[in-house]
Structure 1
Amino acid sequence: MTDQGRGSPADGTEPGGTDTEGAESAESAEGAEGVGEPGAVDEGPDGGGGHYIVCGGNSLAHRLILELTEQYEVPVVAVVPDRSREHGPAIAQIPGVRAVLEHSTVTGEALGAADVGRARGIALMDGTDQENIHAALAAENRNPGVRIVLRIFNQRLGEHIEKLLPNCAALSGSATAAPAFANGALGRPHTVEVGGRQLYVAYDGEIRPNQICLVADRIDRQDLTRLRLLPETGGRAADFIRIAELLGGGEGFGPGGRSGAAGRPELGPLREPGGLAALQTLDTEPPLRQPLRKRVKWWLLDGLKHFTNTRLRMILITAFAAILLGGLVLSLHSDSSHGFGWTLYFTLLDAAGAVQPDVPGQQVTGDAWARAAQVLITFCGITFVPVATAIVVEALASGRRGLPRPPGARTRDHVIVVGLGNVGTRVAALVRATGLPVVCLERDPQARGIAAARSLGIPVLIGEGPLEAQLRQARVKHARAVVAVTSDDAANLEAALEARAVRPEVRIVVRLFDDDFAHHVYATLGNVASRSVSYLAAPAFAAALMGREVLGTLSVFRHVLLVAELAVEEGTVPDGQNVGDLERPGGVRILAVRLQRRGHDYQWNFADRSRRLAPGDRIVIAATRAGLARVIQ
């Protein structure tokens, strides 16, 4: 693991390597130093065993340990490459961590020191795909049936590992978080698909009356710690009544705003500081691809600028205008029996140099004006046709995989991705799949994300030059968004400020690990959205380690809302309880119920709230991290 340094656009050393975020990467030490002895694991209050092992010292491992100790309240043994670097010191200070062991790699010695034979689960958050798979097989050999969660970049390979080890979940932190960054850049909501519906979080004036539930109130961008997820509403109908009251006048409701009804009194504590967020469904995704007319226009202009300077462009434009004029003269002064098709035919052949001259004494096709037009078209074609042919040939050649062109005139309304680590590579691919142009900036010429981006035909600007100059070369003044996803919070903020300096209205999405830093950014910069890879991914990893599957995560500013579908099993928390019993303020909302007798039918906002759930039923919930932990215990 190498430290990418200031402004390095890498989330890890390579695809499948570590996803470092907002922290200095650790240099692997040679050999394995067991700072904690095997006996140290047995010093927990329960006498040892029954613990969970988290291997890794990066930000994702740190967040995962916090999830396990704070939300699920289970003992954790941490295995870190270096206790003095990266997140090692912070992990050692987390209450609930039974022991912190230092091993450069997860070897058999490390697994033995962590007492994997009596562990309930192990999470492999560091290392390459190959190293994590090797450690997973070793853990399964020592403790058959142990729950294994490994972070993997190659998702296809992960699917095969899950089949090989039935009690294993292979997840990608970058794949989990990348859609949130991409959708933030595209200005469309990040969605989670459930039962054919696309669920997303809408704010204030975007809220429609037919909501599924209210998910947050008291939203204050100046102090996001005051935001409340899944607030108490006094019943399902209260969500809709409150939204209808706030939006009844059609003016929407924002922080500090008033309801639409004239003279309506304030609505109590909810009005201060103000703001609402609700869960609703997306009917259709807005079209993003540029219209064909614009694409053709900028393609022609781009090709013209690529081959010519200003003086030559004026000559070519004059030659093209002369060819059009000559064609018009031919249509007026040639044989009247010739129609438009024949006129176009003669004009193109003349421009290509295939003119057939009139011979005195033989039948002619036009008068002197027509012959003069043919001469004009032929000589102008000598200038115009070769350059036009070169433009077409170059455009077709640049469309081949692996030969991207630098951003040119046709690069408009595009997205700039700063950083081609694991996250940046996935974000660029997701945006490219929508049909919008993408330009990437990368300072490390050895980053493997460069090859992945170029294989998709995405231009990549590489170098250590000033970031402002690189952004200008990436045509930031014509961009719709800038996504800064390097491993350095300061570098990401620098990219955001440089982009704003060139184009103040550009949409900006930055990757920030530090929560306090992110709060200050939200309070100071109005059009900047921040995301944390580890904060978005850690809840899904924790739920997988506890044996449950999360369908997706929805971000409410810096907070995370989890959407999960759970099977009601005998002896679990949902067994024997009704919907009203499970729903609690700040914890859980039941979105839909799938009864055993109607397994394919999602009953949204299940009406019979007194019916007790039975084994075989399934529920779809929106939950906070603490709420999900309570339901799946």
Structure 2
Amino acid sequence: MTSEGWGTPPVEPISQHYIVCGGNALAHRLVLELVEHYEVPVVVLVPDRTRDHAPRIEQLDGVAAVVEYSSVTEEALRAVRVETARGIALVEGSDQENIHAALSAQGHNPGIRIVLRMFNQRLGSNIERLLRNGTALSGSATAAPAFADAALSRPNSVQVGDRFLHIAYDDDIAADRICVVADRIDRQDLGRIRLLPEQEGDSASFVRLAGEFGDGGPIRSGAEARRATEPAEPAEPAPAGANGIAALQALRSEPAVRIPWRQRLRWRLLDTLRYFTSARLRVVLITALAAVLFSFGVLWYLNGDFAWTFYTSLLDLAGAAQPDQPGTGDNGTGGTWQRVAQVVITFCGITFAPVATAIMVEVLASGRRGQHRTPGAGTRDHVVVVGLGNVGTRVVAQLHDLGVPVVGLESDPQARGISAVRALGVPVVVDDGPLAEQLRRARLKHSRAVVAVSGDDATNLEAALEARAVRPDVRVVLRLFDDSFASHVYATLDNVASRSTSYLAAPAFAAALMGREVLGTLSVFRHVLLIAELPADLGSGLIGLTRHDLEDPGGVRVLAVRLARTPHLHHWNYADRTRPLEPGDRVVVATTRSGLARLNTALTDNS
């Protein structure tokens, strides 16, 4: 096949399949989700078989076909049999290209399910109204909160109703937890983690013990009875540190960023000063202001009248000072030191006018040139974000909205995130030189965390190592695609968090492609839990099922139920496990990727 698809034969006759358009990391993860967890036929449309993740996609088992076209054209859509497909995901290309392709796909197949990646979320919401059966998602918006929260060492949360769900570990778990979401946690071997384990209630052992006494059963001693409730085979001893657990907890408000208000005020004042002045102008202003304050103090000390001193100083600053006249006696200014002070104030007042003019010229000229701000000498306790792509831009915006000082770092001067970050007034370092020098200019020594979210795993790891060489205790958050690579990083580096944008976003895209609503994703180290809401509508397959039918140890846990008669009330840990769902009910579940896929298949078959 050529890159333009000339002479490319269409895919062999196929129907009820799903189409993924793209060859990037998100497309790779999404294809994995569909073929491994949902077990549906997938046809992949890539722009180039030899680049990016396309070669790895082509090697995946379960992919029905891989077709190469440089763009999603009418011819490309016909080649992948869009007219017989059940769904199509557009996860590469610009917003405009994805919108055009979505409308074209709908024209070929009015009933097709469409999921398109959109960076502009407001535009995406409007586009959804044009699509009969479509959803617009942002992969960067889905993943950015996890990176920002990891940088601040606070739990990532998902809002459900009036509560915010988050993951707590070990000693941070409160008594009012909703459920245990992971156990057997060993930070040196993350493969031991067990998600959504089956948790027996406190009465389970007593129920088993009571069974020993029923209908003439043998009566045993207390020690024998206790041994009867234990496993027949002793469990394999867990290594040290492998007994950690993680639990899902609900808060009434989103976890706050603990930054003292005095510190926030100081950041705001320094940022405002740096915005309006350059370093040289700040030196001039500070020197002149110090001289004025000192001279004012001299006048006040010698005169003793604060009001008169203040009045005289204002006149001197305005250039309206009246010198002594010979023979005026006591009506003059006074002694030599008072005269010197007035002269100093007058000359400092004269300098303020041209300095103010220079500030205005500099601000206006910088705005016309579109120049970005650079971090100043007063930058402290900030987060350094390496890479201003889609994810980096979202992370910077979120940290800025939280009131946390942040500095962007980008090697490509043409990166579109630079203008977005500059519009927020965030300092940016743009340089294609050595990464160590870029981090130095970003004032790494005074930072609180480094978030490396460029598109290359090696670059992100390099940023982490360079940061650790300067600050061994700095908090590091990495964007890594390769799971094995991330596991080695976890085992080697302390105080480090690893996230994968595609790993966080792909489950939400896959669920949307299947018509399921995912409220958000929560990270348990490199594992992902989905918080989804399932409506018991006619034809959904949920009607008549109970909580017992839905729950699957290791896959699905029911968190809350919204009854049709009280749609605004979430019944957390709904106690009635035997009540069948009625039309209009909604169920909130925590689920793994495979658990949601199994649930989707079961509900489809049941409907």
- Superposition TM-score, scaled by structure 2 size: 0.85
User: Aligned pairs, how many?
Assistant: 563
Bigger mean CA offset, 299-308 vs 438-447: 299-308
In the aligned structure 1, how far is the partner of 2:297 from the partner of 2:245? Answer: 64
3-state SS of paired residue (2:12): helix
3-state SS of paired residue (1:291): helix
Shift of 1:544: 0.5
Partner of 1:116: 82
In the aligned structure 2, how far is the partner of 1:382 from the partner of 1:530? Answer: 58
Structure 1 residues 333 and 411: alpha-carbon distance in aligned structure 2, compared to 1, 3 A threshold: closer
2:455 is the alignment partner of 1:482: no
Q: 1:535 aligns with which of 497, 503, 507?
A: 503
Q: 1:219 aligns with which of 179, 182, 185?
A: 185
Q: 2:130 aligns with which of 157, 160, 164?
A: 164
Shift of 1:214: 0.9
- Check whether the contact 2:45–2:69 (CA below 8 A) recurs between aligned residues: yes
Q: 1:379 aligns with which of 312, 322, 344?
A: 344
Partner of 1:331: 300
Partner of 1:614: 582
Structure 1 residues 422 and 296: alpha-carbon distance in aligned structure 2, compared to 1, 3 A threshold: closer
* CA distances 1:487-516 after superposition (whole Å, capped 9, x unpaired): 110001111111111112221111110111
* CA distances 1:460-500 after superposition (whole Å, capped 9, x unpaired): 22222111111111111111111111111000111111111
Partner of 2:469: 501
- Check whether the contact 1:567–1:619 (CA below 8 A) recurs between aligned residues: yes
Residue identity in the other structure for 1:181: F
Shift of 1:591: 1.0
Structure 1 residues 526 and 207: alpha-carbon distance in aligned structure 2, compared to 1, 3 A threshold: same
- Check whether the contact 1:218–1:270 (CA below 8 A) recurs between aligned residues: no
Q: 1:453 aligns with which of 421, 431, 435?
A: 421
Residue identity in the other structure for 2:81: D
Q: 1:394 aligns with which of 348, 354, 359?
A: 359
Structure 1 residues 139 and 328: alpha-carbon distance in aligned structure 2, compared to 1, 3 A threshold: closer
Shift of 1:409: 2.0
Partner of 2:245: 276
Structure 1 residues 211 and 33: alpha-carbon distance in aligned structure 2, compared to 1, 3 A threshold: farther
2:97 is the alignment partner of 1:131: yes
Residue identity in the other structure for 2:257: P
- Structure 2 counterparts to residues 112-511 of structure 1, below 5 A: 112-235=78-201, 272=239, 273-282=242-251, 283=253, 284-288=255-259, 290-293=263-266, 295-296=268-269, 306-307=279-280, 323-334=292-303, 338=305, 340-351=306-317, 353-362=319-328, 364=330, 368-369=334-335, 372-379=337-344, 382-383=347-348, 386=351, 390=355, 394=359, 398=363, 402=370, 404-511=372-479
Structure 1 residues 116 and 354: alpha-carbon distance in aligned structure 2, compared to 1, 3 A threshold: same
In the aligned structure 2, how far is the partner of 1:155 from the partner of 1:297? Answer: 32
* CA distances 1:24-54 after superposition (whole Å, capped 9, x unpaired): xxxx96522465x33x433xxxxx3111111
Partner of 2:29: 63
2:481 is the alignment partner of 1:513: yes
In the aligned structure 2, how far is the partner of 1:468 from the partner of 1:120? Answer: 49
- Check whether the contact 1:333–1:367 (CA below 8 A) recurs between aligned residues: no
Shift of 1:436: 2.2
Q: Which has the higher contact order (CA 8 A, sep 6+)?
A: 1
- Check whether the contact 1:54–1:79 (CA below 8 A) recurs between aligned residues: yes
Bigger mean CA offset, 133-142 vs 403-412: 403-412
Shift of 1:524: 0.5
3-state SS of paired residue (1:327): helix
Structure 1 residues 94 and 33: alpha-carbon distance in aligned structure 2, compared to 1, 3 A threshold: farther
- Check whether the contact 1:574–1:631 (CA below 8 A) recurs between aligned residues: no
3-state SS of paired residue (1:148): strand
Gaps of 5+ in 1: 1-27, 43-47, 239-266
Shift of 1:62: 1.0
3-state SS of paired residue (1:596): coil
Partner of 1:32: 5
Structure 1 residues 393 and 509: alpha-carbon distance in aligned structure 2, compared to 1, 3 A threshold: farther
Q: How many percent of aligned residue pairs carry the same amino acid?
A: 58
In the aligned structure 2, how far is the partner of 1:84 from the partner of 1:292? Answer: 52
Shift of 1:346: 2.1
- Check whether the contact 1:295–1:410 (CA below 8 A) recurs between aligned residues: no
In the aligned structure 1, how far is the partner of 2:469 from the partner of 2:276? Answer: 29
Gaps of 5+ in 2: 205-233, 602-607
- Check whether the contact 1:573–1:632 (CA below 8 A) recurs between aligned residues: no
Shift of 1:598: 0.7
3-state SS of paired residue (1:169): strand
In the aligned structure 2, how far is the partner of 1:345 from the partner of 1:215? Answer: 69
In the aligned structure 1, how far is the partner of 2:157 from the partner of 2:203? Answer: 24
2:563 is the alignment partner of 1:595: yes
Residue identity in the other structure for 1:285: A
- Check whether the contact 1:56–1:81 (CA below 8 A) recurs between aligned residues: yes
- Check whether the contact 1:29–1:81 (CA below 8 A) recurs between aligned residues: no
In the aligned structure 1, how far is the partner of 2:270 from the partner of 2:134? Answer: 52
In the aligned structure 2, how far is the partner of 1:487 from the partner of 1:361? Answer: 80
- Superposition TM-score, scaled by structure 1 size: 0.82
In the aligned structure 2, how far is the partner of 1:407 from the partner of 1:376? Answer: 36
Structure 1 residues 329 and 55: alpha-carbon distance in aligned structure 2, compared to 1, 3 A threshold: closer
2:12 is the alignment partner of 1:41: yes
In the aligned structure 1, how far is the partner of 2:267 from the partner of 2:546? Answer: 56
In the aligned structure 2, how far is the partner of 1:385 from the partner of 1:505? Answer: 49
Residue identity in the other structure for 1:544: A
3-state SS of paired residue (2:554): coil
- Check whether the contact 1:34–1:103 (CA below 8 A) recurs between aligned residues: no
Shift of 1:86: 2.0
In the aligned structure 1, how far is the partner of 2:7 from the partner of 2:171? Answer: 56
3-state SS of paired residue (1:170): strand
Structure 1 residues 82 and 123: alpha-carbon distance in aligned structure 2, compared to 1, 3 A threshold: same
* CA distances 1:300-336 after superposition (whole Å, capped 9, x unpaired): 6999981179xx78x965x7666445434433443x6
In the aligned structure 2, how far is the partner of 1:63 from the partner of 1:406? Answer: 36
- Check whether the contact 1:299–1:410 (CA below 8 A) recurs between aligned residues: no
In the aligned structure 2, how far is the partner of 1:135 from the partner of 1:604? Answer: 41
* CA distances 1:376-428 after superposition (whole Å, capped 9, x unpaired): 34226525873697379739965986554321122111111111111111111
Structure 1 residues 588 and 300: alpha-carbon distance in aligned structure 2, compared to 1, 3 A threshold: same
Bigger mean CA offset, 433-442 vs 223-232: 433-442
Structure 1 residues 608 and 316: alpha-carbon distance in aligned structure 2, compared to 1, 3 A threshold: closer
Partner of 2:596: 628
In the aligned structure 1, how far is the partner of 2:300 from the partner of 2:281? Answer: 31
In the aligned structure 2, how far is the partner of 1:351 from the partner of 1:190? Answer: 53
In the aligned structure 1, how far is the partner of 2:408 from the partner of 2:203? Answer: 47
Q: 2:20 aligns with which of 37, 54, 62?
A: 54
